[in-house]
Structure 1
Amino acid sequence: MPQRPSPYPPAQAARQALADRLREIRLDAGLTAVALATAAGWDRTRVSKIEHGVRAATPEVIRIWCRACAAEERVEDLLAELRTAEGVYVEWKRTQRAGLRRLQIAKVPLYERTGHLRVYASQVIPGMLQTRGYAAALLTSITERFGTPDDVAQAVEARLARQRVMRAPGHTYTFVLEEAVLYYGHGGPAAMREQLDRLLDVVGMPRVAVLVIPMNADRARQWVLETFILYDADRVDVELLSAEVAVTTPTEVARYEAAFTDLGAIAVRDEEARALIARARDSLG
């Protein structure tokens, strides 16, 4: 059955990347497409169709492919990559169709089972640190932009309730914020002052690290990226304008872990971070 093309280029790219990986494994094994098809017991054209994205790879195909190429050690990585390709691009409009409150609640189990949550924020204050006024302004903006059902009041309460996970034992948190985020206004000066006061309080909390990347930091090590959230070493959610990308392939998750480490290395913490937050707060008058 032909593979249905994805309407979203990133999703199609993820599927093609998996097909390319399978082709590399075949070439490394020194097999022609026909030889691999024969070893797998397939029609002679099936390998070519999979490698060119005409047919979709399945878990069974991946296992047979790797066995024929004596590359069984690659199976788990490829299966994780397949899961990512199948669910890589979640359209915000579709997920927000039932309102924003459901989105806040849906992530609670994920937060609860994550031991070390790491967030890199390049656009807004992370949801786990937001105050009521800031969250209300931000969620109102999202509702108006995407035309979702207006359940902002309920969504704000759900977002604030979700923050209780931070007080539960067994969890640690590392937030790396671009300094510019401290100046992006949401809700007006009063809401921003309250939000920045909240950040100043969080800097001293146990099991929580708040780092700020100064605007004049040397970016040779790592440039500005989209906001992303690391759930232990299991999953990364990358937030785009129109969609959320969920990454679960171990090698790709490792890349985000490395990027997070590099971003943290050019950030300041403790009193230096407090000084940058206080300066942004003071700029509001």
Structure 2
Amino acid sequence: MTESGVTEPGANRRPLTVRTDPALGGRWTSLATPEREWLWHNPRVPADARAGVAPGDPFVDAGGGEECLPTIGGPSDHGEVWSRPWAAHGGDGTAARVEAGDLALTRRLTTHDGTVRADYTITGPPGAGLLHAVHLLLDVGPDARLEVPGRPGTLVVEWPEPGATTPTTWPDGGGMPLDVLGPDDGTARCAVVATDRLDVVDGADRLRLRWGTPAAAPLSLVVWRNLGGWPEEAPYRSIGVEPMLGAETNLDRAGPDRLARLDRAGRLTWWLTATATLSAKNLPL
């Protein structure tokens, strides 16, 4: 695909479908083409562990995709909406809504010509600051790579020690590359990248994510590159990419310029699209 949405020569655009579970925090349970599932599911977490959560419970890392609002890092870990049931909104079956504290989030999911689009509306007190990320855990191999254009500013969080942040530039993740995944090496990094686009390339498959907002709000990507380095007591591998409204992972730590804010009417909108292609041109040289 080109930036205009036209399929590149030799690329085979694949229909992409999405499934969610409104009863379980609006969780994304599938993002798939006919050839593959892009979302990873944690084999260590039984289904009933995720199904039994209630507001205020510790985060259950079941995989798939979780909606994180009004923060990613705690408190509360991964925010307030992942643990609450969502309700249908409107009559066409495409939208669901959840309320958490003084904020409400509505998500409308549609597909057109093989593209999945999520449209978000957040309402609450005028001027309220927040972070909202779509926490997608990917089922990709060690040869997969993350493509972000240029060398945007990058903030490595919780490194080199808990609570610390380290500014750098993509693809540096504090002495390790964020754009290549590789085999398990016992490391874990989380970073916020100043971008509104990402291509995930795994073999001949390419997943293209784009996001934007009409508001004057920062847009970022959170990369979670855990190659068996977390949690300390029982580490496992997980790869997360999180298109985000905002530019930090922790609401309490974020400076004013790193937060998204509701407008004078107490409203903020943004969107995320996902497309997929299959092409030998995606393979590394």
Q: Same fold by TM (over 0.5)? A: no
Task: Say which one has the larger Rg.
Answer: 1
TM score, norm. by length of structure 2: 0.30
Would you tell me which structure has more helix in proportion to its own residues? 1
